[in-house]
Amino acid sequence: MNLQTWLVLGAGLFCVGLFGLLTRRNAIGLLASVEVMANAVNINLVAFSRFHGDGQGQVFALFNTALTVTEAAVGLALVILLFRARKDILVDQACELRG
């Protein structure tokens, strides 16, 4: 497979994640969309690393994965707090929780 195939796959995944991010109101759906977008970036980083013959892209993908995991943990903690306070996880009503 050539580089263009992997880049098209990454762009397609990023577009799906962006569409989900723009159309969802549910906090879990938003977090899942961000995860899909981050995985698309990882695919592009690893593809460039593979086809250029160095390991820098793979190292950046590893750091990106670590950041995505911490983002998911913090995001899920916020979703749990939102559910406890409002009994739903719609993001539109989260602005009412400002203190």
3-state secondary structure of 25: coil
Task: Tell me the domains of the chain and their CATH numbers.
Answer: 3-97 (1.10.287.3510)
pLDDT digits (tens, 9 = 90+) for 38-88: 999 999 999 999 998 888 889 999 999 999 999 989 988 988 888 888 887
Non-local (6+) Cβ contacts of 9 within 8 A are 43
Q: What pLDDT does residue 99 have?
A: 61
| pTM score above 0.85 | no
Copy the structure tokens of residue 24.
Answer: 């969802």
Collapsing DSSP states into helix, strand and coil, what is residue 29? helix
